[in-house]
Structure 1
Amino acid sequence: MINLKENNKVRIYGAGGHSQVIKEVLQENNFNVIETFDDNPSGSHHASKNVVMGARGDLKKFPHNGPPVIIAVGINSDRAEIAGFLKCKYGKAIHKSAIISSTSKVGEGTVVFAGAIIQPNTTVGKHVIVNTGASIDHDNVIGDFAHISPKAALCGHVEVGEGSHVGVGAVVIPKVKIGKWCTIGAGTIVIRDIPDYCTVVGNPGKIIKRNMPK
């Protein structure tokens, strides 16, 4: 299921390893990736071909109009920054094996990878990564630019703030609220609310750092 139209054409912004996964999802759904942009084409993944300089090179010359774009950048803050200066239409990339309830909503620019599950009445924001095998249960709210890593499990009524990263295999118990721009370490068990800008690790999860916004 891909929510992209316009003659099955799509563009991706980002040419690293994360972009390779997105590209494969799109191609498996019969979409043609016609352009790949990156702000450092010389540093592109070896499988990326014909990469064109991104908007940071010259924002005015960037082709904002055209087929939808997916920002294929894994770092949440970079994805947010790029979305802030592009003037493009955005699509969604959803793997065929992902299970998404008909009562849930997935925002523009979001990618959902193989084996991920999004249960009823959940809202996933814009430019979110729901990574391989992640499980998001009922009545969750996932903020824009968040990343739910592979095999992470969010129980019911969980909130994840803008830009937060829930690490590989992390578990969040029901009704917990994670603030914005937090980092939840791999394998962490989150059993209580987490304020904004915190790094949390361990079982049970403990705050080890508070990263104030720049």
Structure 2
Amino acid sequence: MNNPNKDNKKIRIYGAGGHSQVIKEVLVKNGYTISDTFDDKPETVHYASKNVNVGAREHLADFPHEGDPVIIAVGINSDRAEIAKILKCSYGKAIHKSAIVSETSKIGDGTVVFAGAIIQPNTTVGKHVIVNTGASIDHDNIIGDFAHISPKAALCGHVEVGEGTHIGVGAVVIPLVKIGKWCTIGAGTIVLKDVPDYTTVVGNPGKIIKTLKK
């Protein structure tokens, strides 16, 4: 797959916690320079984050929207969605060199794909998605914006994952299952049937334990 940032070797990171350190390493190993780092609480960032500027959520008028592309390096899906809504920036991508990404797949802006992840043919991954370490997304999947596919999670063919949904560590989703938006699939859960919006599913086989209102 072509380098997603080949025409611009500088990029900005919004978020300075532990998750941002993984994204930073991916970008640096791919030859990019981090031109600025922002965080909404720069006084409480990860110890390895240096020279952190204040973010936009409480200082929107002062935020430099124009400039190098941004990656929102925040692990909580709802926070990424909130930040993306207020920023007026262009977005980059971070794809680890060891990830296997089919040339027929589509990866949205702001999305990150970590070490050892696999994305098979004809899959569409939305914007600001996290495909975490060693996650496997098989053919013809549709992954909604702001979703998070956690480490070692495995999605079989023709799976749909809605906006903002979190697929937990080591979860397995069998073929043709549709998971709604803003759901939580617990770690190690085996999902055998469709999941409605705003629902939490855990166990083997997966069972609904909670459904929230919008």
The TM-score by the shorter chain falls in which range? over 0.9
Aligned to 2:92: 91
Gaps of 5+ in 2: none
How far apart, CA to CA, are the structure 2 residues paired with 1:166 and 1:105?
19
Alignment RMSD: 0.9
- Map of 1:190 onto structure 2: 191
Partner of 1:68: 69
Contact 1:2 1:93 in 2 (8 A): no
CA distance in 2, matches of 1:5, 1:68: 12
1:2 Cα offset (Å): 4.0
1:121 aligns with 2:122: yes
TM-score in terms of structure 1 length: 0.98
C-alpha contact (below 8 Å) 1:6/1:67 kept by paired residues: no
In 2, Cα distance between the equivalents of 1:36 and 1:19? 9
Relative to structure 1, the CA distance from residue 2 to residue 14 in structure 2 (aligned partners, 3 Å threshold; closer, same or farther) is farther
**What corresponds to 2:13 in structure 1?**
12
The runs of 5 or more residues in structure 1 that have no matched partner are none
**Cα deviation, residue 212, structure 1:** 1.5
Q: Spell out the pairing of 1:1-214 with structure 2 (5 A cutoff).
A: 2-5=3-6, 7-213=8-214
The SS at the match of 1:27 is helix
Poorly superposed stretches of 4+, deviation over 3 Å: none
Q: Aligned-pair distance for 1:7?
A: 4.1
C-alpha contact 1:94 1:112 (8 A) present in aligned 2: yes
* Amino acid corresponding to residue 20 of structure 2 in structure 1: S
Letter paired with 1:160: V
What displacement does 1:143 show? 0.2
Instruction: Decide whether the 8 Å contact of 1:197 with 1:211 is kept in 2.
Output: yes
Amino acid at match of 1:156: G
Matched length: 213
